[in-house]
A and B are shown apart, each in its own frame.
Chain A
Amino acid sequence: MSDSSSEAIKIKVRNLSKVFGPHPKRALEMRNSGMRRPEIFEQTGQTLALSNISFDVYDGELLVIMGLSGSGKSTLIRCLNRLIEPTEGDVFIDDESITGMTDKQLLDARRRHFSMVFQSFALFPHRTVQQNAEFGLEVRGMSKAERREIARTALEQVGLKGWEDSYPHQLSGGMQQRVGLARALANDGSVLLMDEAFSALDPLIRKDMQQELQELQYHTRKTTIFITHDLDEAINIGDRIILLKDGEIVQQGTPEQILTSPADDYVARFIEGVDMARVLTARSAMRPVRATARDSDGPRTVLRKMSENGLDSIYITSRDRRLHGLVDAAALKSAIQDKKDHITELIDPDVPRVGPDEPLNSLFGMFSERSVPIAVVDGDGRLLGVVVKGAVLDELAKAGDY
């Protein structure tokens, strides 16, 4: 999840547009007067590949840019490091304007900031795995010994130890893309650009690679921009998703936001067929807790709160809403008879609890064990809400309707 602790902006994209054709300015004028991509193409033969794109990439997040072919996603990622020259608009990295750079500055920025992984792997066939991984460091002019060490570590990181002296064509597709990934990791740019990096791999290997990327990204916290046409993949790995259609942003948000409240029919059609139970989390099915009691309350106070709200058990929290456990009415009554004025020994700490990002499908299993509601707590153990069995089914049914 894009944790709120790292909201620093790494890349800023503002009003970015790209026209493919000999008279791009004219196409943009037509766009400004309200014409859409098909009309502009019909009248001028030029393609408005991207139109007025603005978004931020936060430091350390994994941002997925998703769209079908022709949506402009590959053009967009290439505009970030100017492999494709934008027609209009600005790209900033760490507040440095990429679009305003001279050729020399751009070369330097590519070496420092961007490591790119390609759909077609784009490995150099005349170089060994090791030499491929070294490429970025080599063009920077790093010494042989130093770059060999770094590349070796990167290859080890992606599980290719022992393959250093092989040539790319001797490796399977999945392994080749690992080399591509190692080349990017060795280069250690501040941003990782992945252009449909796993699209050419078969489904099983693809799942593995997604998982490995997530782990890697989690540990290194490297800002990653991942392009894909596959919603499953986007949801699986993305902290946030930007949906692109005909060169425009249709929606951006967390996977859950996009799934539960699609911005329009286009997005809605996109999300059909996604396994909802895997995607929806405890947070979406969670209800606020009607009443809680404090651990400092006496048994009588707690019992009164329960009867006021029609409950036969109640969550006990500390002053800062940290969840201690559950107390039930029978235990309270016997405590009152025993003339106790503390409830601390009555609390049952064995309450099912989950984090807000727990997928709904794993909640099913917990319901079958116990019939009590499931408490949703944050990282510090504070009570956020509660999930009851019916709410999970409701949420799934609702999601299925889109």
Chain B
Amino acid sequence: MDAMIPRIPLGNWIEAGLKWLTTEYSGVTRGIARLTQTGIDGLDDALLAVPEWGLIAVLALICWRLSGWRLALGAVLGMGLIWNMGYWQPMVQTLTLVVIATTVAVLIAMPIGILAALSTRLYRVVMPVLDFMQTMPAFVYLIPAIPFFGIGAVSAIFATVIFSMPPAIRLTILGIRQVPVELIEAADAYGATRIQKLLKVQLPLSLPTIMAGVNQTIMLALSMVVIAAMIGADGLGSEVWRAIQRLRPGDGFEAGIAVVILAMLLDRITQSIRTSGRKKD
């Protein structure tokens, strides 16, 4: 490097910042960690308490109601295969992580998306932040997660939420912004308040787009949950991870196929929620 310009110690600053955060707010992070861990354990236990065939039946019923018998059959065959291969427990653990991570992500993303869609100023701030969140390599989030929340599922969820949130925010903004101006004008002309406009016109009309964002978030969360196995999150990811370490391609593919089955099911289910919402148009 040129001696005239000293190297900018960006990394040191970030580390100092993170260190300060972890020491100053250790109470807060520990609280969040405990709360999240309780949620994870609770959902895990609940799902595992149901007999395998019972959960498969419930899943099939949901698929049948939302989409039809084809998806229901797919759910039964796919889940049956996972059960048969002996990946039932890691599958449930992964499902738990995905459900909790996406719930948190969507709960944060929706209000941010709505506000950013309605305020140009906030939109200008949010967009570059989203670009940052999406392009930063996902592994990087895992590193600070550990000092915050320790090794395990909570850190995995933290990193997953950050990584999977951007599409939900983006598509919420897009959905609301693409509501035709004539309809906004019509709502205004009849004296609708901001809230009435949002609830009666903007949100219902952007629902299909928002659901597409939720779908994307679920898919990203699922891909991240597997990576999160590297910081000790249990689930299908850790099965893959173990197979890599032991050089057992057969085990790796089995666990991988289980991930694919879970991903396809979650994708089809959320998509059919989206299209069944659109049929009313």
CA distance A200 to B281 in the complex (A): 22
Q: Is A81 an interface residue (CB 8 A)?
A: yes
Q: Are A83 and B189 in contact (CB under 8 A)?
A: yes
Which residues from chain B contact A140 at a C-beta distance below 8 Å? 191
Chain A positions within 8 Å of B189 at CB level? 81, 83, 110, 114, 116, 193
A124 adjacent to chain B (CB < 8 Å): yes
Interface pair B186/A118, CB less than 8 Å apart = yes
Inside 8 A of A109's CB, which chain B residues have their CB? Answer: 191
Asked, given contacts A139-B196, A167-B280, A167-B281, whether A122 binds B183 with beta carbons under 8 Å apart, the answer is: yes
Q: Are A139 and B192 in contact (CB under 8 A)?
A: yes
The interface residues of chain A lying within 8 Å CB-to-CB of B200 are: 124, 135, 138-139
The CA-CA distance from A193 to B188 in the complex, in Å, is 14
Q: Is A159 an interface residue (CB 8 A)?
A: no
Given A125-B205, A139-B196, A139-B200, A108:B191 Cβ within 8 A: yes
Return chain A residues, CB-CB under 8 Å to B185: 83, 118, 122
Q: Is the CB of B13 closer than 8 A to any CB of chain A?
A: no
Instruction: Give the contacts of A105-159 with B (CB-CB under 8 A).
Output: 107-111, 114-116, 118, 120, 122-126, 135-136, 138-140
CA distance A115 to B191 in the complex (A): 10
Task: State which of B182, B191, B205, B280 has its C-beta within 8 Å of the C-beta of A136.
Answer: B191
B182 near A110: Cβ-Cβ < 8 Å:
no
Q: Which residues of A contact B188 (CB under 8 A)?
A: 83, 110
Total contacting residues, chain B, CB less than 8 A = 19
- Check if A169 sits within 8 Å of B281, measured CB to CB: yes
Q: Are B182 and A126 within 8 A (Cβ)?
A: no
Given the complex, which residues of A lie within 8 Å of B192, measured CB to CB? 139
When C-beta atoms are compared, the residue in chain A nearest to B183 turns out to be A122
Least CB distance, A392 to chain B, in whole angstroms: 45
A125 with B190: CB separation less than 8 A = no
A111 touches B190 (CB 8 A): yes
Let me know if A224 is at the binding interface, CB within 8 A: no
Q: Is B62 in the interface zone, CB < 8 Å from A?
A: no
List CB contacts (< 8 Å) of B176-197 with chain A: 180, 182-183, 185-193, 196
Bound state CA distance, A83 and B204, in angstroms? 23
Chain A residues contacting B180 (CB-CB under 8 Å) are 122
Decide yes or no: A122 and B191 within 8 Å by CB, A138-B200, A139-B200 being known contacts. Answer: no
Q: Which residues of A contact B126 (CB under 8 A)?
A: none
Is there an interface contact between B190 and A126, defined as CB atoms closer than 8 Å? no
Q: Determine if A187 is an interface residue (Cβ-Cβ < 8 Å).
A: yes
Is there a chain A Cβ closer than 8 Å to B230's Cβ? no
Across the two chains, which residue of chain B brings its CB closest to A111? Answer: B191
| Cβ contact of B193, chosen from A107, A118, A126, cutoff 8 A | A107
Q: Is the CB of A116 within 8 A of B182?
A: no
Contact of B280 among A120, A126, A187 (CB under 8 A): A126
B182 touches A125 (CB 8 A): no
- Select from chain B the residue with minimum beta-carbon distance to A116: B189
B9 to chain A, nearest CB (A): 43
Q: How far is the CA of A122 from the CA of B183 in the complex (A)?
A: 5
A108 contact set on B, CB distance < 8 A: 191
B182: chain A residues at CB < 8 Å are 118, 120, 122
Distance in angstroms from B166 CB to nearest chain A CB is 27
B201 within 8 A of A: yes
Inter-chain CA distance A173–B130, complex, in Å, is 42
A79-102: CB near B (< 8 Å → 1, else 0) gives 001010000000000000000000
Contact B281 A139 (CB under 8 A): no
Hey, which chain A residues are within 8 Å of B204, CB to CB?
Answer: 126
Min C-beta distance of B21 to chain A, whole Å: 42
Q: Which 9 A-B pairs have the closest CB atoms?
A: A111-B191, A110-B191, A122-B186, A116-B189, A122-B182, A136-B190, A139-B192, A126-B204, A120-B182
